């Protein structure tokens, strides 16, 4: 017997090459999977469900995919924007006091925030502190978790001048590889495949060549991807040129790292030619429009990557300087930033960024057999959106259908009423069913204050650039 029948909705199935719109559509869900998709009148004839959800005046679509985030920094949301060198001049003093408790508090808050904005898959990249995987498992969300690997000295890099080559500590690399491998072998395809994993050498400049290659081999032997910050800043390019005499893309090409196993994050500093090289290799790209716009004032080359045939997923990156985990925000900014970059209002239209947030994102993560569209046999990750909200209405069906552009350019995420992941409701009528929202709100405030108090007590905070804005009364 069918578990759930959603009926009378505007379906965006995201099948085919467009958005797969269907009027008065229905979706049946059984044992966590989609078991039927079609016109309501048709499905109602044959399907009897334990529960029927009337989705009149709602859009039913696949849940949104957040392919790259550092969720824990939600505990220090908003400490590092509107400045140069956001990481050193803004985040670093806070990062220093991110205890495991603060880390988990921020992670939970970011997941809660994402659920409330329609995200069903969370691609988190982090130190694998105890309890990290459990946050996603317990919240009932789909995840792709990547434990950070690098061979940078554990004691930090104080004393290094800007432009000095980072020293590599092979023992530290060994430790982080082993730690990641333990995490991976514990969580790979856990919870019936709901929790997925990748290997994550942090950047080609942050780990020795041998260990970089080892990560790829370890991943390959498990059928996993490698999730790597790539050409993410002039700092990285400078390190690569000094160490290897080559910019990152040429180096990765030469060592055989460019293939469909690679999820390349950011490409902030990649030229169009380098971007094409990476895309044509079969590698995938994670694009963080909001965060790179805020912290660097740059529009990464995702449009070039896609025109070269590559798949791109979107990521909300980190809330210290994005400052939100909301894929509606990323879809909209991706379209607008690229229209501006190319001075062309036809660039990355609504339907293309909607694909990046759903089926194309799933492809970039290697999960398109399971999620990203409403199709029979796929896992039931879907959201229902109230399209009678004033910012989304009217819903016009012809001659021009307005649903998709209004979702992309006007939705905030708060119009999402229901969210189902793996066939289980995680949010219903905006009530969170799998997390204690009030407790998380209180905890992240408490933990954030603890971190901030520690920063205030450390003289290092006096170098923070935003103190000038504080003194001027601008914050």
Q: Kindly identify the residues of this chain, within the stretch 102-121, that bind a copy of itself according to CB under 8 A.
A: 109-110, 112-113, 116-117
Q: Is 433 in the site for a copy of itself (CB under 8 A)?
A: no
- Our CB check for a copy of itself shows the closer of 11 and 152 to be 11
Whichever of 160 and 340 has its CB closer to a copy of itself, that residue is: 340
**Cβ distance to a copy of itself smaller for residue 1 or 456:** 456
> Counting contacts by CB under 8 A, is residue 76 touching a copy of itself?
yes
Query: Between helices 327-341 and 289-296, what is the axis angle to 10°?
Result: 60
Examine residue 79 and tell whether it contacts a copy of itself (CB under 8 A). Answer: yes
Minimum distance, C-beta of residue 41 to a copy of itself, in the bound complex (Å) = 21
The yes or no reply on residue 323 touching a copy of itself (CB under 8 A) is yes
Determine the interface stretch with a copy of itself among 185-193, 211-219, 259-267, 460-468 (rule: CB under 8 A): 460-468
Q: At what angle do helices 100-116 and 132-139 cross, to 10 degrees?
A: 30
Kindly state whether residue 299 participates in binding a copy of itself, applying the rule CB under 8 A: yes
**DSSP collapsed to 3 states, the chain:** CEEEEEEEEEEECCCCCCCCEEEEEEEEEECCEEEEEEEHHHHHHHCCEEEEEECCCEEEEECEEEEEECHHHHHHCCCCCCCCCHHHHHHHHHHCCCCHHHHHHHHHHHHHHHHHCCEEEEEEEECCCCCHHHHHHHHCCEEEEEEEECCCCCCCCCCCCCCCCCCCCHHHHHHHHHHHHHHHHHHCCHHHHCEEEEEEECCCCCCCHHHHHHHHHHHHHCCCCEEEEECCCHHHHHHHHHHHCCCHHHHHHHCCCCCCCEEEEECCCCCHHHHHHHHHCCCEEEECHHHHHHHHCCCCCHHHHHHCCCCEEECCECCCCCCCCCHHHHHHHHHHHHHHHCCCCCCCCHHHHHHHCCHHHHHHCCCCCCCCCCCCCCECCEEEEECCCHHHCCCCCCCCCCHHHHHHHHCCCCCEEEEEECCEEEEECCEECCCCHHHHHHHHHHHHHHHHHHHHHCHHHHHCCCHHHHHCCCC
- Residue 409 Cβ vs a copy of itself, minimum distance, rounded to whole Å: 4
Asked if 456 interacts with a copy of itself (CB under 8 A), we say yes
Establish if 459 lies at the interface with a copy of itself (CB under 8 A).
no
Is 230 near a copy of itself (CB under 8 A)?
no
Asked if 463 interacts with a copy of itself (CB under 8 A), we say no
CB of 93 to a copy of itself, least distance (A): 8
Q: Which is nearer to a copy of itself, 154 or 446 (CB)?
A: 446
The single residue among 3, 282, 293, 428 that binds a copy of itself, judged by CB under 8 A, is 293
**Contact flag: residue 429 with a copy of itself (CB under 8 A):** no
Tell me the per-residue interface mask from 21 to 60 with a copy of itself, x by CB under 8 A, - otherwise.
x---------------------------------------
**By CB under 8 A, is residue 414 in contact with a copy of itself?**
yes
* Residue 282 in contact with a copy of itself, rule: CB under 8 A: no
Interface residue with a copy of itself among 101, 179, 188, 347 (CB under 8 A) is 347
Interaction between residue 307 and a copy of itself (CB under 8 A): no
Q: How far apart are CA 56 and CA 10, in angstroms?
A: 8
> What residues from 136 to 155 belong to the interface with a copy of itself (CB under 8 A)?
none
Min CB(344)–a copy of itself separation in Å: 5
Q: Among 325, 363, 379, 418, which residue sits at the site for a copy of itself (rule: CB under 8 A)?
A: 325
Burial environment of residue 122 by CB neighbours within 10 A (0 to 12, 13 to 18, 19 or more): buried
Residue 231: CB minimum distance to a copy of itself, A: 16
Is there binding between residue 423 and a copy of itself (CB under 8 A)?
A: no
| Closer residue to a copy of itself (CB): 169 or 415 | 415
Among 211, 281, 318, 406, interactor with a copy of itself by CB under 8 A: 406
Pair 9, 60: CB distance under 8 Å: yes
Nearer to a copy of itself, 83 or 255 (CB): 83
Query: Tokens in use for 401?
Result: 């259908």
Q: Report which of 349, 358, 417, 427 is spatially closest to residue 389, judged by C-alpha positions.
A: 417
CB of 452 to a copy of itself, least distance (A): 5
Min CB(211)–a copy of itself separation in Å: 32
Q: Residue 235, interface with a copy of itself (CB under 8 A)?
A: no
The reply on whether position 216 binds a copy of itself by CB under 8 A is no
Which of 191, 235, 341, 428 forms a contact with a copy of itself (CB under 8 A)? 341
CA neighbor of 65 nearest in space, from 14, 137, 3, 16 = 14
Under rule CB under 8 A, residue 96 binds a copy of itself: no
Under rule CB under 8 A, how many of the chain's residues touch a copy of itself? 100
Cβ-contact 350, 61 below 8 angstroms: no
């Amino acid at each position: 017997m069918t578990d759930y029948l959603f009926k009378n909705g505007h379906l965006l199935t995201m099948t085919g090459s467009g958005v797969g719109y269907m009027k008065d559509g229905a979706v049946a869900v059984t044992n966590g999977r989609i078991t039927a998709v079609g016109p309501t009148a048709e499905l109602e004839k044959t399907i009897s469900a334990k529960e029927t959800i009337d989705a009149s005046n709602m859009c039913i679509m696949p849940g949104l995919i957040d392919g790259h985030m550092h969720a824990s920094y939600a505990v220090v949301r908003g400490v590092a924007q509107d400045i140069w060198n956001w990481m050193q001049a803004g985040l670093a003093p806070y990062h220093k006091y991110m205890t495991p408790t603060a880390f988990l508090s921020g992670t939970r808050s970011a997941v809660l925030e994402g659920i409330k904005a329609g995200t069903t898959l969370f691609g988190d990249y982090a130190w694998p502190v105890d309890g990290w995987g459990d946050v996603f498992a317990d919240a009932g969300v789909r995840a792709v978790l990547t434990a950070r690997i690098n061979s940078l000295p554990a004691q930090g890099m104080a004393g290094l001048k800007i432009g000095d080559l980072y020293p590599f500590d092979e023992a530290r690399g060994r430790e982080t590889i082993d730690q990641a491998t333990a995490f991976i072998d514990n969580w790979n395809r856990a919870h019936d495949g709901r929790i997925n994993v990748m290997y994550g050498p942090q950047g080609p400049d942050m780990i020795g060549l041998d260990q970089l290659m080892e990560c790829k081999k370890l991943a390959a032997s498990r059928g996993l991807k490698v999730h790597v910050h790539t050409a993410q800043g002039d700092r990285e390019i400078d390190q690569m040129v000094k160490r290897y005499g080559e910019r990152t893309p040429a180096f990765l090409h030469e060592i055989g790292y460019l293939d469909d196993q690679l999820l390349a994050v950011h490409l902030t500093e990649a030229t169009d030619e380098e971007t094409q090289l990476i895309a044509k290799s079969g590698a995938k790209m994670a694009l963080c429009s909001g965060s790179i716009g805020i912290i660097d004032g740059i529009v990464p080359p995702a449009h070039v990557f896609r025109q070269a045939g590559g798949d791109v997923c979107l990521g909300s990156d980190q809330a210290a300087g994005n400052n939100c985990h909301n894929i509606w925000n990323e879809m909209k900014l991706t379209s607008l930033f690229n229209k501006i970059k190319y001075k062309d209002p036809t660039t990355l239209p609504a339907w293309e960024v909607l694909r990046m947030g759903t089926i194309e994102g799933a492809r970039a993560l290697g999960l398109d057999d399971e999620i990203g569209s409403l199709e029979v046999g796929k896992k039931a990750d879907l959201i229902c959106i109230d399209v009678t909200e004033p910012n989304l209405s009217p819903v016009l069906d012809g001659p021009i259908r307005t649903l998709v552009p209004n979702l992309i350019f006007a939705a905030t995420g708060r119009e999402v009423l229901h969210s189902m992941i793996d066939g289980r409701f995680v949010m219903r009528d905006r009530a969170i069913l799998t997390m204690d929202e009030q407790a998380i709100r209180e905890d992240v405030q408490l933990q954030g204050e603890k971190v901030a108090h520690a920063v205030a007590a450390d003289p290092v905070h006096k170098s923070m650039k935003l103190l000038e804005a504080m003194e001027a009364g601008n914050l």
